[in-house]
Amino acid sequence: MGGLLIILSIILIFVVLVQIGRINEIAVGLRGKEQAQRQANNRNAVMGLVFMVAFLIFVIVSFFAFKDRMLGFGPHESASHHGGLIDGIFLTTLIITGIVFFITHILLFWYSYKYRGQKGRVAKYIPHDNRLELIWMVVPAIVMTFLVIGGLSVWNESMADVPDDMKHGLNEGEFLEIEATGFQFGWLLRYPGATDFKLGTRDFRNIKAGYNETGQVWTDEKNHDDFLADTLYLPKDHKIRIRIIGRDVLHNFYLPHFRVKMDAVPGMPTYFVFTPTKTTEEYRESLSGYPEWQAMADPSDPENKFKKWETFEYELACAELCGDGHFSMQKIVRVVEMDEFKKWYNSKKSFYSTEVNPPKETEVLSRETSLEEGHGGEEGTHTGEGHGEGSHNVEGHSTEESHSGDHTNGTHTSGGTTTHTEGTHTEETHSGGTHNAGKADGKEGTNAGKATTTEEGENKGKKGKIIKKIFNKGKKEKTGDH
């Protein structure tokens, strides 16, 4: 029995020795891993620093490489006064957040390097630190205050209405109000005429398709000189107030180059006030310096020698998905110097004076007397056509095209006027109109020789033909415009 115990004791001692040996072995292995771990920690921390430097360099390089694609830079400079402020606050925000971005990334990688795992280093347990909390509350609060106050002041300036005591007009210190009515699918641009520079009142019940699209109320005299335009002409450096109307659904009056964007809401007129600072010509010039604008405007047309920058136009678009014709709500915006603007402005005839209530025959007579006194020439030339325009407008297609440019006188209105109010082309009105026109024309010698010399009867016959011809022309124009 004693012998057996001795043998078991020897075996147990042997087993213990083997186990101690294995523990030693394991301990040695563990010590090596620690070493390996330390090496990996060092390597990762250094790699982190290298990555940080490469990444921040990439950020800086890409900023400068893509700078010209950002609003406010390169070919995307704004063309309005407040637009510069908006771009400026974007840039300020970018700079401040950029600085914070750089600081936080440098700290992030630097601390993961500095406090990488090392032998004998133990993390500190900090349950609470008032100073630290103050710093990370106060610093962002100060920065945010500057950003918010800066943004708020830009907002207030961009969205401000014109001062109450500001006058309508084109002189310095005055403003011009234009009405933009969004409908499915297009924009109606109504300008106040030069007699009062005030837009007349509208009533939706007066809206008549193809005739009184904006619903002007003719009893309001302010309406009598208003005219519609197809291109949004704007004078440079003059305050513009756009009155924005939605006729059917939500639209959005959007002038990207001017940083103007405002919903057109049915039943709730909105507005936007801004001052264009660059003419279309000047903007084209500034674009000419960029390679992407040097390309051919229309590569498919071999005859087209224009470069992209030469054909640039500001645009008015609808920025609200308003239906399946949404894409077609684009219009051209043209900013010109004040002198040129006035020329364009004065060449416009109001819808009322040409279509709704043209001057009575007696007025026409007196007008023509004055025409003969001096400026008969040009006006006379157009008489025939003007007459025709009158008839086509009776059809209800008064469009900007039909009023623009070529009808610069009052004579042609006579035909249209009377016709319009009565709704029919009576022989008398027409012969009267043509006859008188003839007198004016006679001086010039164009177009109206027949009318002047012929008898009343003959006159009527020819007139009929002219009317018919122009009536058709009017139809064509109408379809072309809409």
- Residue numbers at the binding site for Cu ion (CB under 5 A): 251, 318, 322, 329
Least distance CB 315 / Cu ion (angstroms):
14
Report the nearest approach of Cu ion to the CB of residue 180 (Å). Answer: 11
Instruction: State both tokens at 5.
Output: 């115990």
Going by C-alpha positions, the residue among 185, 193, 260, 271 that lies closest to residue 228 is: 193
Q: How far is the CB of 182 from Cu ion (least distance, A)?
A: 5
Rounded to a whole number of angstroms, the minimum distance from the CB of residue 401 to Cu ion is 22
- Please name the residue that has the structure tokens 């040409």: 354
Closest CB to Cu ion among residues 244, 467 = 244
Task: Report the residue number, 154 or 322, with the smaller CB distance to Cu ion.
Answer: 322
* Other Cβ atoms closer than 10 A to 96: 15
**Which two tokens mark 374?**
């001096």
Q: Smallest Cα–Cα separation from 399: which of 315, 324, 473?
A: 473
Give the closest residue to 147 by CA, choosing from 194, 190, 95, 92. Answer: 92
Q: How far is CA 251 from CA 222, 268, 320, 407, in A?
A: 26, 12, 5, 33
Nearest distance in Å: CB 246, Cu ion? 9
C-alpha distance from residue 343 to each of 229, 348, 439 (Å): 14, 9, 28
Q: Could you give phi then psi for residue 318, rounded to 5 degrees?
A: -100, 130
Q: How far apart are CA 270 and CA 28, in angstroms?
A: 81
Judged by CB, which is closer to Cu ion: 273, or 329? Answer: 329
Residue 249 CB, shortest distance to Cu ion, in Å, is 7
Q: 242 or 322: whose CB is closer to Cu ion?
A: 322
Between CA 55 and CA 58, with CA 57 as vertex, the angle to 5 degrees is 65
Nearer to Cu ion among residue 269 and residue 396 (C-beta)? 269
And the tokens for 156?
Answer: 């207030």
Rounded to the nearest whole angstrom, what is the least distance from the CB of residue 214 to Cu ion in the complex? 16
Residue closest to 181 by CA, chosen among 120, 124, 253: 253
Nearer to Cu ion, 150 or 269 (CB): 269
**Whole-angstrom Cα distance, residue 104 to residue 259?**
33
Give me the least distance between CB of 399 and Cu ion, in Å please: 20
- Name which of 329 and 364 has its Cβ closer to Cu ion: 329
Rank residues 72 and 246 by Cβ distance to Cu ion and give the closer one: 246
Task: Please report where in the chains the tokens 């609808």 appear, as a residue.
Answer: 318
Give strand pairing partners of 190: 179, 228
Sign of CA dihedral 296, 298, 301, 307: negative
Q: How far is the CB of 216 from Cu ion (least distance, A)?
A: 22
Decide whether 251 or 284 has the Cβ nearer to Cu ion. Answer: 251
